[in-house]
Amino acid sequence: MALGLTYATSLTLVRMRLAALRHALRDSNRVAWIGTGAFLGLVLAAGTIWAATKGDTDLVAVAVAVWMLGWVVGPLFAGGGDETLKPEYFTMLPLPPRALSGGLIAAALAGVAPLVSLVALLCLVVVGGQLSVGALLISVPAVLLQLLCFVLASRLAVAVYAVLLQVRSGAVLAALVNAFILAFAAQGWALIAAFISTDVQGTIARGARIAPSGWGLVAVEATGRGDWLRVLLAVVGLVVLCAAMFVAWSALLVRRTTAALAGVRVRRQLTAPDARGAAAAKELRTWARDLLYGHRAVFAIAYGLFFCMMPLAVGWKGMLPWAGAAAVVMGGAMFSNLYGADGTAFWSTLMTPRSAQLDIRARQRAFLLVFGPPVLVITLLLTWWSQAGAWPLVLGILPALLGGAAGLIVLASVYAAVPTTDAHKRSGNPLNSGENEGETMGLVYVMLVLVSLTAAPALGAALAWSWWGVPVGLFSGVLAWWYFGRLAAGRLEQRGPELLTLLRHGRTTGEHVDKASLSSKMALLPRWRRYLAGFCLGFGAIPLFPQAVVPAIFLLNAVDAKAWFLALYVEPRWQWPVIIGMALLGLGMYAYGGWTYWQASKLRPEAQHHLQPEPQTP
């Protein structure tokens, strides 16, 4: 009976998942993202299979470990992964936990990502075919068990992460892990170079085989040698591990759908002598008690430290002075949707007369109090440790970034608020902020660029006149803090009711129509042009920043490091032309993508009508 119920539930949920995927494919933008991700995944899968055809089983073990690592950490950066079917949707149904868990796992296997991973795991079949017929046969269940292990590990990681975010120490730990992983994605070349220089490739391969991601390969290789005990241990180990992860995830799923939040006793009343103090105290309480606020603040500061300290693995201290600046830029991006995070709680601010100015300034002061002291200490200590002559640059850029970030976060929060799930309605997965996760991530990417640009006057003054960059940075930071805050307060005073409506009900019908019309207008353009525009907007940062801005800073500061920067590998007379060329390429990619979308947005309705194909009569 239990197995029959689990099978029926799984079949129903798989059908629901496939139906949702079919509906998603009607959106040209979603199709472009899914197609791009699938293409890149298949390219990586082809590389994994190619390594297997060359007989390099060590490389195959490491590649499969990287695939499993992607399954575990990927959802942590993508809003908790794909939760088209949330467990909360089925809490009112009389389903046993095991039946619901089994159905959700089966539905998770019905998607593009598992299919791409299945193609990559065919490398085990290739290895088995090169060894013996028995190894080829054992590779088939090994592939299926390994894929199931990937999906279960991904779901369990998200569930554990969600539990950690519900306690303060866990939120801090999760932020540190998250920051290290993201910094490794950008600066991992230093650690990899250190590993290669110490000749530990064999150690990495052995570690990849010991990890659960390598047990399928171990089973295949052991079959080729006739070591049946090792085959049995590897296969049974995968089965037991999958069962254990399934049971643990089911238990966390029950906790997620049934646990109730306990009341919190107020330890100290919120008192203040005036309205200004009340606004400041309210905002500081929010930063201190909302675990997501604390998580994001720790993440931003830890990311700056990890990003700039990883090059120490190869003995390069040139990035150390910029750890504080990197933390401010990341912090400005992470807190660019303050009113969206408030949700409908914004009504209490809106109903208080003449509160807009006070609330805006209170949010700015809270940001400066949280980020200002730690990033200043980090900057001073690491700049002194690096023994680099970067004091004028650092001391000019840091106040400019702090003031710019404090001004831009409130400006973006008012002008570009993104509706998210209210704090009291958050699901058991705090990573999922609602249906507008894509808009939230888009705002984060834009803010990374905008906050960085606020340092341009101080950077130019410091490069041209050395210590004069410090007063320029102070002046530009104060100006950005004051002027952007003034704009945000004026907008909040005039359009506060509209903002509350947006946060409460989401996009209005007119806004949905405008958004859909842009998608439909883009669909009228040739497919190659749409995809090229998306590619340019997605990858224009690669030639612009790591291949132009960073090597330019290296040359100006006489940094003796090449890493993966193309301009530093050519002859000195060609270095600046390469940097300028890369900068023009990156700016050109952004310009082409933006120009394409701008042209599509200007199409008139009658033009759309004439461009649409005529319906064919049977």
Percent of the chain with pLDDT over 70: 78
Inter-residue contact 433 to 79 (CB < 8 Å): yes
At residue 269 the predicted structure's pLDDT band, cuts being 50, 70 and 90, is: low
Distance CA 83, CA 86 (A): 5
Residues in the chain: 618
- Among the residues of 416-468, which ranges form H helices? 437-453, 456-465
Percent of the chain with pLDDT over 90: 20
Question: Would you state the pLDDT for residue 267?
Answer: 55
Per-residue model confidence as pLDDT tens digits over 217-264: 999 999 988 889 999 999 999 999 999 998 888 888 877 766 554 444
Task: Pick from 43-57, 75-89, 522-536 the range whose average pLDDT is largest.
Answer: 43-57
Q: Residue 88's CB: how many other CB atoms inside 10 A?
A: 13
- The CA distances from residue 131 to 2, 56, 116, 147, 199, in Å, are 41, 13, 25, 22, 28
Q: Which of 16-30, 376-390, 420-434, 574-588 has the lowest mean pLDDT?
A: 420-434
Question: Which amino acid is residue 83, in one-letter code?
Answer: E
**Radius of gyration of the chain from Cα atoms?**
27
Q: Which of 269-283, 363-377, 463-477 has the lowest mean pLDDT?
A: 269-283
Question: Which amino acid is residue 88, in one-letter code?
Answer: E
Question: Would you state the pLDDT for residue 148?
Answer: 92
The domain locations on the chain are 2-258, 275-506, 508-606
| pLDDT above 60: residue 81 | no
Distance CA 52, CA 59 (A): 8
Instruction: List all residues 6 or more positions away from 592 whose beta carbon is below 8 Å from its beta carbon.
Output: 532, 533, 536
**Which has more confidence, 378 or 424?**
378
Question: Which amino acid is residue 523, in one-letter code?
Answer: A
**Which has more confidence, 263 or 216?**
216
Question: Would you state the pLDDT for residue 594?
Answer: 75
Instruction: List all residues 6 or more positions away from 457 whose beta carbon is below 8 Å from its beta carbon.
Output: 400, 472, 473, 476
Question: Which amino acid is residue 10, in one-letter code?
Answer: S
**Span 533-555, average pLDDT:** 75
Q: Which of 9-13, 545-549, 580-584, 600-604 has the lowest mean pLDDT?
A: 600-604
Secondary structure element (H or E) that encloses residue 434, with its range: none
Distance CA 113, CA 118 (A): 9
| pLDDT above 90: residue 496 | no
Question: Would you state the pLDDT for residue 510?
Answer: 47
User: Torsions phi, psi of 200, nearest 5?
Assistant: -115, 25
**Which has more confidence, 94 or 266?**
94
**Span 281-300, average pLDDT:** 83
Question: Would you state the pLDDT for residue 144?
Answer: 92
Instruction: List all residues 6 or more positions away from 61 whose beta carbon is below 8 Å from its beta carbon.
Output: 205, 208, 209, 213, 214, 217
Question: Would you state the pLDDT for residue 138?
Answer: 92
Question: Would you state the pLDDT for residue 406?
Answer: 93
Q: Which two tokens stand for residue 34?
A: 């899914």
Task: Pick from 322-326, 351-355, 499-503, 539-543 the range whose average pLDDT is largest.
Answer: 322-326
- Among the residues of 211-290, which ranges form H helices? 215-225, 228-258, 275-289
**Which has more confidence, 532 or 364?**
364
| pLDDT above 90: residue 487 | yes
**Span 57-84, average pLDDT:** 76
At residue 376 the predicted structure's pLDDT band, cuts being 50, 70 and 90, is: very high
Q: Which two tokens stand for residue 392?
A: 């004028």
Closest CA to 145 of 229, 243, 46: 243
Inter-residue contact 562 to 569 (CB < 8 Å): yes
Question: Would you state the pLDDT for residue 329?
Answer: 92
Q: Which of 206-215, 540-549, 555-564 has the lowest mean pLDDT?
A: 555-564
Question: Would you state the pLDDT for residue 26?
Answer: 73
Question: Would you state the pLDDT for residue 603?
Answer: 62
Q: Residue 169's CB: how many other CB atoms inside 10 A?
A: 8
Mean predicted lDDT score pLDDT of the chain: 79
Distance CA 299, CA 295 (A): 6
DSSP of 411-429, one letter per residue?
HHHHHS------GGG--S-
- The CA distances from residue 19 to 5, 34, 38, 93, 325, in Å, are 21, 16, 19, 20, 46
Question: Would you state the pLDDT for residue 608?
Answer: 43
Per-residue model confidence as pLDDT tens digits over 149-197: 998 888 888 888 777 766 676 677 777 877 887 787 767 666 666 655 5
**Which has more confidence, 450 or 90?**
450
Inter-residue contact 179 to 306 (CB < 8 Å): yes
Question: Would you state the pLDDT for residue 558?
Answer: 65
